[in-house]
A and B are shown apart, each in its own frame.
Chain A
């Protein structure tokens, strides 16, 4: 049987779990690209190229990096912000997993129960999941693969995700910085970001901060 490839969707209303199709997680020092196990170094470069090629590359930081659980997390958050600035990429938070009624504001947040809304609304073509608990990431990654054509990347602090198109494992601040280095290297070789120009939104306690024109 040929290997199941975890490609961007839309695949089906309910795409199969990649694990059920025989895909396995990478071992330490490895990553996977669309289901193929590769050395981590290869994945950094591939990932950096994907980010630079994208029109609307976006990072979805989850509760494990948004909330300051400890100093390591704060360091990782700093690295994520640096990555967003370097590519450049939008940042849209997944602050927690509670269902939001009557609906989420898809412009400024993402919810794992209906991540497709945020992706459709913002026309996101490449996204990074980081700091999202595994079970919620699996759910969201499958929904995205099922209903959108977004390329998903998991920067996972545990064993990685079969259901992402590309997945790192054991991710920490150092690995995010290595990804930044890969982006810089490509840029130095002449690869330019294709991202549509944007301004990163900012929020305050009373809502979005509107910059004067």
Chain B
């Protein structure tokens, strides 16, 4: 997709539904400062979704899509699960892979895109649930990190297999009883962030999706670092309200509880020295650009 192509033929423009006319007029393609604050006004990447009412995963989708630095040059690789129900509604290129294969496919894709478009920065982002990332696909996930593949892996961690009725997953907390795990989990939650660090990820973030600005920053950092340095990993807590016995309105509270001190999802980041330098330089550049833009504006504007 190229943002120059997002215009409507003049002779048929007057029959186009309003949302497409809006898309041309207000889309955030090409806007360097696009972010979560555009969610209310810019719906070109996602509008409706097919998840349950109040599902934190749907919130995560909106924040992530709003945070992509260049959606027109981004390809998602997804896997089987609730996320795969949303991708048909998403206007970003995406590939649905076999369960667990997502990081292997993303590896090939990233290399192919780098070869096909040497002058364009193409971002590849894996977005899969905890079953695909940690249980069935852990081999592929880790091997891509070992190989230092330059793409971002995002894990939607809902701590069980929600889509199939509540089976135990590796990221489930110890002792948790689910509908299809009646005896309770007998071992600790897999420490995936630590595994990612040891496997060579240059940037790792663990957080919930209760605060959009934090999600935006983590996603942008992960993508910027993946472009220049190496693999990055973001683990987002997106609880399945149905499977943990909550109501539609309680997803946000559940995430807030989980991120309080002592909780399972207290926000943490691991950044290599090299990645930190890169992020600092990007921050400086952004600051200088905004300052210059502000200086250019007429005083009365």
Which residue of B is nearest A69, CB measured?
A: B5
| Segment of A3-11, A33-41, A98-106, A132-140 engaged in the interface with chain B | A98-106
When the two chains form the complex, which single residue of A77, A92, A98, A206 contacts B11, counting CB atoms closer than 8 Å? A77
A53: B residues at CB distance < 8 A:
none
B50: A residues at CB distance < 8 A:
99, 101
Closest chain A CB from B242 CB (angstroms): 19
Q: B18 near A80 (CB under 8 angstroms)?
A: no
Q: Is B295 an interface residue (CB 8 A)?
A: no
When the two chains form the complex, which single residue of A66, A108, A202 contacts B9, counting CB atoms closer than 8 Å? A66
Q: Is A205 an interface residue (CB 8 A)?
A: yes
Which residue of B is nearest A90, CB measured?
A: B15
Closest chain B CB from A139 CB (angstroms): 14
| Segment of B20-28, B69-77, B118-126, B193-201 engaged in the interface with chain A | B20-28
> A99-B89, A101-B50 given as contacts; is B8 within 8 A of A67 (CB)?
yes
Q: Is A188 an interface residue (CB 8 A)?
A: no
Q: B21 near A205 (CB under 8 angstroms)?
A: yes
Bound CA span A78–B12, Å = 8
> A93-B17, A108-B17, A205-B21 given as contacts; is B88 within 8 A of A99 (CB)?
yes
The digit string for A112-147, where 1 denotes a CB below 8 A from any CB of B, is 000000000000000000000000000000000000
Closest chain B CB from A155 CB (angstroms): 14
Q: Is A171 an interface residue (CB 8 A)?
A: no
Q: Is A65 an interface residue (CB 8 A)?
A: yes
B273: A residues at CB distance < 8 A:
none
Bound CA span A78–B11, Å = 5
Bound CA span A25–B254, Å = 58
**Dominant SS among interface residues on chain B:** helix
B5: A residues at CB distance < 8 A:
67-69
Which residue of A is nearest B89, CB measured?
A: A98
Q: B12 near A204 (CB under 8 angstroms)?
A: no
Bound CA span A74–B7, Å = 11
> A77-B9, A99-B89 given as contacts; is B18 within 8 A of A66 (CB)?
no
Q: Is A109 an interface residue (CB 8 A)?
A: yes
Q: Is B280 an interface residue (CB 8 A)?
A: no
Q: Is B115 an interface residue (CB 8 A)?
A: no
> A98-B91, A99-B88, A205-B21 given as contacts; is B9 within 8 A of A91 (CB)?
no
Q: Is B41 an interface residue (CB 8 A)?
A: no
Q: B9 near A65 (CB under 8 angstroms)?
A: yes
Q: A201 near B17 (CB under 8 angstroms)?
A: no
Bound CA span A74–B12, Å = 9
> A93-B17, A203-B17, A203-B18 given as contacts; is B89 within 8 A of A66 (CB)?
no
Q: B48 near A67 (CB under 8 angstroms)?
A: no
The digit string for B1-45, where 1 denotes a CB below 8 A from any CB of A, is 000011111111011111011100100000000000000000000
Q: A73 near B15 (CB under 8 angstroms)?
A: no
The digit string for B126-149, where 1 denotes a CB below 8 A from any CB of A, is 000000000000000000000000
Q: B21 near A92 (CB under 8 angstroms)?
A: no
> A93-B15, A99-B88 given as contacts; is B21 within 8 A of A204 (CB)?
yes
Which residue of B is nearest A76, CB measured?
A: B9
Which residue of B is nearest A77, CB measured?
A: B9
Bound CA span A91–B5, Å = 22
Q: B17 near A92 (CB under 8 angstroms)?
A: no
Q: A66 near B12 (CB under 8 angstroms)?
A: yes
Q: A205 near B25 (CB under 8 angstroms)?
A: yes
When the two chains form the complex, which single residue of A73, A109, A200 contacts B17, counting CB atoms closer than 8 Å? A109
Which residue of B is nearest A209, CB measured?
A: B14
Which residue of B is nearest A95, CB measured?
A: B20
A95: B residues at CB distance < 8 A:
16-17, 20
Q: Is A81 an interface residue (CB 8 A)?
A: yes
Bound CA span A206–B25, Å = 12
A190: B residues at CB distance < 8 A:
none
Bound CA span A205–B17, Å = 8
Of residues 84 through 116 on chain B, the ones whose CB sits less than 8 Å from some CB of chain A are 88-89, 91
Q: B18 near A207 (CB under 8 angstroms)?
A: yes
Bound CA span A67–B10, Å = 9
Q: Is A61 an interface residue (CB 8 A)?
A: yes
Given contacts A74-B9, A78-B11, A101-B48, 13 further A-B contacts (CB under 8 A): A67-B6, A68-B5, A81-B12, A93-B12, A93-B15, A98-B89, A99-B50, A100-B48, A101-B50, A108-B17, A201-B15, A205-B21, A207-B18
21 examples of A-B residue contacts, CB within 8 angstroms: A65-B9, A66-B8, A66-B9, A66-B16, A67-B8, A68-B5, A68-B8, A74-B9, A77-B9, A81-B11, A91-B12, A92-B15, A93-B15, A95-B17, A95-B20, A98-B91, A99-B89, A105-B17, A109-B17, A200-B15, A203-B15
Partner-A contacts on B (CB < 8 A): 5-12, 14-18, 20-22, 25, 48, 50, 88-89, 91
